[in-house]
Amino acid sequence: MEIKLYEHKTQYYETDQMGIIHHSNYIRWMEEARVDLLQQAGMSMTTIEEKGVLIPVLSVSCEYRSMTRFGETVTIELRLVKYNGIKMLIEYEIRDKQTKELRAVGSSCHCFLSKEGKLLSLKKHFPEIDAVFEGFMSSKER
């Protein structure tokens, strides 16, 4: 399966007083890229949540390398680097689409919970969702 890089065209409301993209937006873009990746794999967040699976963020980090300005488009490449059916770790590279300059790198850690807040093993309880995440681990296309 060919996975396309996620693209985000920056908006004026995302800028700060200095005319650059406010740092908090990079975290939002990482979430947009995660949701897009699942959609491309045919497993939307809505579908996952309708099955009773929640994917909360346990931690998130972002290191800023260069400024992004209003009107620029960035691409976000993400890699699922650790996954065991209970937790996962995703890494991100955010680059200027035109120049390929690295804007930021980041990571997010997640677990899988039932709607009651109990830890879930996708391997045991939701093998069809587990297969999607396992597919990301074996994919080298991104």
In whole angstroms, give the CA distance from residue 131 to residue 48: 13
Q: What is the mean pLDDT of the chain?
A: 94
Q: Which helix (H) or strand (E) holds 115?
A: none
- Domains (ranges, CATH) in the chain? 6-138 (3.10.129.10)
Q: Cite the beta strand spans of the chain per DSSP E.
A: 6-9, 53-54, 57-64, 73-83, 87-96, 102-111, 113-114
> Which whole number is the average pLDDT over 61-79?
97
pTM exceeding 0.85: yes
What DSSP character marks residue 113?
Answer: E
Task: Pick the closest to residue 106 from 62, 57, 59 (CA basis).
Answer: 62
Tell me the pLDDT tens digit for each residue of 84-111: 999 999 999 999 999 999 999 999 999 9
